[in-house]
Amino acid sequence: MLHPFDSVTDVEIVITSKLLKQMHGDACLFFSQIDRLEPIKSEAIKYLEAERYGGKLPWIPRRTYAYYYVNNQMPLYKSIVNASEKRVESSKPVPGGAIGPLQPDGMAAVEIAAVDHPIVKAEIAKLQLEKLSFHHPQLGKLSYKVICEPWMYGSDSPNDKVPLIQCYMYMGVDHPDSNHYSIPLKFSPVFEYLTKRFVRMDYLPSGADEKFIKETFPLHKVDPIVEYHPELIEDWKPRDGLKPLQVVQPEGPSFKVEGTKVTWQGWEFRVATNVREGFALYDVHFKGRSLFYRVALNEMTVPYGDGRPPFHRKQAFDLGDCGFGNSANSLALGCHCLGVIKYLDTRRSDARGNPVLIPSTVCMHEQDYGILYLHKNYRNDRSVVTRRREFVVQTIATVANYEYVVNLVFDQAGAITVQVRATGILSTMPNDPNTVTDFGTIVGPGVTAAFHQHLLNFRFDTRLDGDKNTVVYDDYMPMDEKLPHNQYNVGFRQKRTFVDRSGPVDQSPFTNRTYKVINENSINPVTLKPVGYKFEMPAKQMILASPNSYNVKRAHYATKQFWATKYHDDQLYAAGEFTNQSQKDTGLSIWADGSEDVRNADTVIWATLALTHPPVTEQFPVMPSDFLQFLVTPASFFDKNPALDVPLADNNFNRSVYYDDSQDAASSTSGCCQPKV
């Protein structure tokens, strides 16, 4: 029997598409997305309570949603299907002319249509590539080819009523792994997404201003391509001296997975994959106490800082426009995750409503991350030390040029680290010789990478010791001078502010502002104050575009780091349900407008990780991963360190060896953590 939180199945996708096709008769349906619909929370809570404490499990039908177009035309339809009872509950056009998320098959079709279109072929012919070739010392003579990279169109006008695609054109050698981002071309066709109809040809600026040349000229020579693949790097040799570092668990892993339920070191939760967010966690408990109903990365926007057309429309919503599950990598042993690995799969729909399996999109494993806690009693030279074991839930999405590694990392003391690594290849633009700007970086001959930002929003539906939680923020202030208890003017204190209404909380790094969620109905017996968890977020620059820009109007959540709202079903995505070519934010700009009381309520936290990224040459042709994270940690939630039951470190358990003895695999090891004398 499927759990209400289990991922969508092949059968449910087929039921959904079949029912909708039958409803529309002979019409051709283009499915943008099919996935499981979240259960109504009040019903799911009853199910979870019965599951945990006993009782009859209530019946919760499995429901799906579908976004689709009829006969490749607007409007976009949204349908709700009861897959358990095999019936359509609702189906109607989405109001406001919303445009649905892009479909992997649809984008691939645009890519093919673009390079095959006569107007684009004529533009390519002007390059006279047949007269050029590259002699590779190992691979021999290689010809050049043109590659199309379709991008979501973005927004700059209320008049764009149909789905559009901006096709950026590049060139590389005729090898499947050639770095075409090293040679961006100066023409960029625009196509209609559904019909593949040619709209116009844009020409790209390549100097220091907005001017462009509306002509394509023959290439008499080609700048050297900055390659990243070992097969293409001339005379590539692997670096010497790197020896195996293996994660071995001879007795198996310390975690247990039953269906979608994971238990590890006091943690209990469910993990379910989906096409939009990649994965979500449900019913998160630690040491038997409730923490969160649902946790997920729900949106990311990537606005580019080059204001010249058409680059001014380069603003991706990687989850809402594309989907992290749709673009998830199939992860491999020994590459993406090390140790004993449990994988989960993702299922999506193709454009015709058939299920597509993407295997191994989520990996779960343990890792060592240094010391958890340590104290040495200097009086007797005795130490207690424990190793910090972590449990990682990871997915990796490739959205065109970029890869995003999303990790939720659990430790043995009740903390969660939200960690994102950005890697892949910079999105590039043509650059005239010796042209230097203050909004981009030259990363190779004839190629520049624009400054841009990554703003990722994580949604935490809180349940700290129950369903009524409160958001506060604590500032740390110097005490007033010359008080009776501060005669020497060294004192400082905590100032607590309650968030009573839905809305954002401003950053304040110079008061060490700390965001917290507390339960005013659950008092810590030691502190005599409400229990809580804190969100440790470093101060970061938020979205840089003008408040009057489409970039900000569409991504209001990116203006602030931390938001609190009251829970409502179907409020899952910070920028709203439909982001592709959106005109304005339909998420937090509405839900966090101060109109609702969020104190001692069913509270949702929206936390934004922000990275302003001015590229550097060391990040080309492929980026070492950029690293950003925040912590969600107990703040007097427990009455003492909850990790005191973690076994002390012991080398009979950990099996480390001395450097001098490392050539002898059978060397003896001491049993406890004592220095070698």
- Give the residue numbers annotated as catalytic, written as ranges: 318, 402
CB atoms inside a 10 Å sphere around CB 369: 14
CB 179 within 8 A of CB 425: yes
Q: Report how far apart, in Å, the C-alpha atoms of 121 and of each of 62, 112, 116, 203, 603 are.
A: 48, 12, 6, 15, 55
The CA distance from 526 to 506, in Å, is: 30
Q: Which two tokens stand for residue 667?
A: 């060397």
From the list 476, 505, 506, 504, the residue with the least C-alpha distance to 491 is 476
Amino acid 169 reads M
Query: Residue 517's closest CA among 598, 610, 413, 596?
Result: 598
139 and 176 Cβ atoms separated by less than 8 Å: no
Q: Exposed, middle or buried, 510 (CB in 10 Å: 0-12/13-18/19+)?
A: exposed
C-alpha 362/C-alpha 364 separation (Å) is: 7
Q: What is the DSSP letter of 328?
A: B
List the structure tokens of 482: 């010359």
Cα separation, 542 vs 611, whole angstroms:
8
CA distance 240 to 418: 34
Is the separation of the CB atoms in 499 and 565 below 8 Å? no
Residue 603 and residue 35: Cα distance in Å, rounded?
25
Please report the beta strands in 253-401, taking only residues with DSSP state E, as ranges in sequence order. 256-258, 261-264, 267-274, 278-286, 289-303, 315-317, 342-349, 355-377, 382-399
Q: How many CB atoms lie within 10 A of CB 172?
A: 23
Residues sharing a CB contact under 8 Å with residue 393, sequence separation 6 or more, in sequence order = 262, 271, 279, 281, 362, 363, 364, 407, 408, 409, 410
Cα separation, 438 vs 427, in Å, equals 17
What does the alpha-carbon distance between residue 627 and residue 620 come to, in Å, rounded to a whole number?
16
Q: Residue 522: CA atoms inside 13 Å, Cβ hemisphere, count? A: 23
Contact 558, 610 (CB under 8 A): yes
CA gap 425, 625 in Å, rounded = 10
How many Cα neighbours within 13 Å face the side chain of 168? 22
Quick one: residue 337, left, alpha or beta (phi over 0 = left, psi -120 to 50 = alpha)?
beta
